[in-house]
Structure 1
Amino acid sequence: MMSQYRQYVRSSLSQYKFPDVAERDIVAVFNAFTDLRPKLADYVFNNGTTRTLLQLDGTIPVTYRGSTYNIPIAIWLMDTHPYNPPLVYVKPTSSMQIKSGPNVDSNGKVYITYLSEWIYPNSYLLELIQILAILFGEEPPVYSRVVTSARLHNQSQEAVRTPNHAEQDSDDEELSMLREELRRVENRKREKRKEDEKKQLRREVEKAKAELQEMEKNKNVSQNERQVKEY
C-alpha cells in the first residue's frame, strides 16, 4: 500500500512546482497515519476559480477523555507545497455535525497558529497532523448529529452513577501534559524562526557590505586611471 501511495503521489505532483520536496513531505505521513490516503480533487477558491490539487483524505485518531475517535479530515496541498501552507478541513460524515470553535469555523475550515506561521522546512505535514490530533483531543471539532434512544438510556444511567474521579483526574492530567507539549513545540518553532531570520539578515548585511566595498574599490580604480591619463 505504501508503494502504491508513493507512486500515486509522484504522478499526481507532475504539475507541482516542487514535486521532489513535496513528495518527501507527503509520503512521510502515511507510516504514522495509515487511514489517510492521497487523491486528486478539484478545489474551488473564494474567487470562484477551480484548481485540481492533491489532498490527503481520511481520518486521524484522536484521544478524548480516555477514548479514541477517528476524526475525518481533508488536507489540500497547494501546487507550491511545501513552501505554502495547506488548507485543512474537517469533513463530518452524515451522522456528524461540525462544532465550530477557536480552531474550526462552521464550514469545517481549520485555523491554527501552525498554519498561519507555516515556514518550510520548520513546518511540515507530519507535525501539522500530530498537532491537529492534540488540539482535536482537547476540543473535538465534531459531535454526533443523532442521539438514539439507547444513547439516551446510557446517558440517564451515567447521570445517576457516581463519577470515577480517578479516571477524570487521569484524563485531565494527560490533557495538561499534551497542552504543555504543544506549547513547547510552538515555542521551539518560534525560536527557530527567529534564529533563521537573524541568519538571513546577517547574510544580507554581509552581502551589502561586500557590494559596498566592491563599489568603493571600483571607484578608486577609476580615479587612479583618470589620474594616470592626466599625467
Structure 2
Amino acid sequence: MPYYENAIKKMLPKTYLRQHVAHEIYVALTHFQSLVPMMDKYVYNDGTMKNLMSLTGTIPVMFEDNTYNIPVCLWIEESYPQTAPICYVRPTCEMTVLSGKYISSNGEVMLPYLEEWKNGECDLVSLLQVMVVVFGDFPPVYMHSHPEPEQAPCWLQFHRQAEVLSRTDGSLYLHLASEDDLPFQQENETSC
C-alpha cells in the first residue's frame, strides 16, 4: 500500500470500510490532483452533524473550448460504497450556482449516476469523470461579469470594523460602522 494511501486510511474512523475507501480516494487523487481528502463536519438537512470524509477542491471542465476549474465537495458517508457520496458544487465569491437539471439551488449535484448508484459498479473516479462531462454540457456555476462598484469585496462584507465604546453612564455599547462608514443610528446599536 503506497504511503499516501496508508495516510488516508489512518484519517478514516473505524466505522468506514477503511482499506476500500482509502484505496478509492487514492485512485481518485491520482486522476484529480486538485482534490484534497479531509475529515470535516457535514450538516444534514435535519440539522444533525457528523464527521465525514470529504474530497474537496476543483475538477477541470471543458466548456466552449476553455478549461474551467469547478469547485466541488464530495462527502463520503460511513455507508460508502453501499451508498453514493453526497456531492456539491461549492462556488467561490466570484461565482454563482447555476441551478438546473443536475444542480439544486444550494449547489447539490443530482446526477443519474448518483441516483442509480450500485456498489461494485460505481466508484469515485467514475463519478468525477461523469461530473466533468455533465458540467461541460451543463455548467453548474457562472462567474459574475462585473462586480457592482459600490459592493465591498467578499471578505470585507463580513469583516466590518467594530468598536466597544462606553457611555457617560458607564454602560458599554458596540459601534459598527455602516457600509458608507457613517455610524448607525443610536437605535441600531447593541448595548452590552
TM superposition score normalised by structure 1: 0.61
Q: Choose between structure 1 and 2: higher strand proportion.
A: 2
Q: Do the aligned partners of 1:53 and 1:79 also contact (CA within 8 Å) in 2?
A: yes
In the other structure, the counterpart of 2:142 is: 143
Aligned equivalent of 1:26 = 25
Residues 188-217 of structure 1 deviation map (CA, whole Å, 9 limit, x = unaligned): xxxxxxxxxxxxxxxxxxxxxxxxxxxxxx
**For 1:10, what is the secondary structure of its paired residue?**
helix
The answer to whether structure 1 residue 134 and structure 2 residue 119 are counterparts is no
Unaligned 5+ runs, structure 1: 150-231
Matched to 1:104, the amino acid is I
CA distance in 2, matches of 1:79, 1:101: 29
TM alignment of 1:47-86, pairs within 5 A: 47-86=46-85
Whole-angstrom distance in 2 between the partners of 1:19 and 1:80: 11
**Hey, what does 1:110 align to over in structure 2?**
109
Q: CA deviation at 1:47?
A: 1.7
**Equivalent residues in 2 for 1:176-191, closer than 5 Å:** none
- Partner of 1:120, secondary structure, is coil
Q: Contact 1:8–1:38 (CA<8 Å) still a contact in 2?
A: no
**What is the aligned partner in structure 1 of residue 173 from structure 2?**
none
Amino acid at match of 1:133: V
**Is 2:98 aligned against 1:99?**
yes
The answer to whether the 8 Å contact 1:72/1:92 transfers is yes
* Deviation by residue 1:53-89 (Cα, 9 ceiling, x = unmatched): 0100000000001110000000000011111110000
Q: Which has the larger radius of gyration?
A: 1
Partners of 1:106 and 1:20 in 2: how far apart?
35
What SS class does the counterpart of residue 129 from structure 1 fall into?
A: helix
C-alpha distance in 2 between matches for 1:14 and 1:89: 23
- Which structure shows the bigger proportion of residues in helix conformation? 1
Which one-letter code corresponds to 2:76 in the other structure? L
Equivalent-residue separation in structure 2 for 1:54 and 1:8 (angstroms)? 13
Q: State the TM-score, normalized to the length of structure 2.
A: 0.72
How many Å separate the matches in 2 of 1:63 and 1:3?
32
In the alignment, is the contact (CA less than 8 A) between 2:6 and 2:22 conserved in 1?
Answer: no
3-state DSSP of counterpart to 2:29 = helix
* 1:15 CA displacement: 2.9
Give the equivalent residue in structure 2 for 1:14. Answer: 13
Give the deviation of 1:148 after TM superposition.
6.4
1:123 matched residue in structure 2: 122
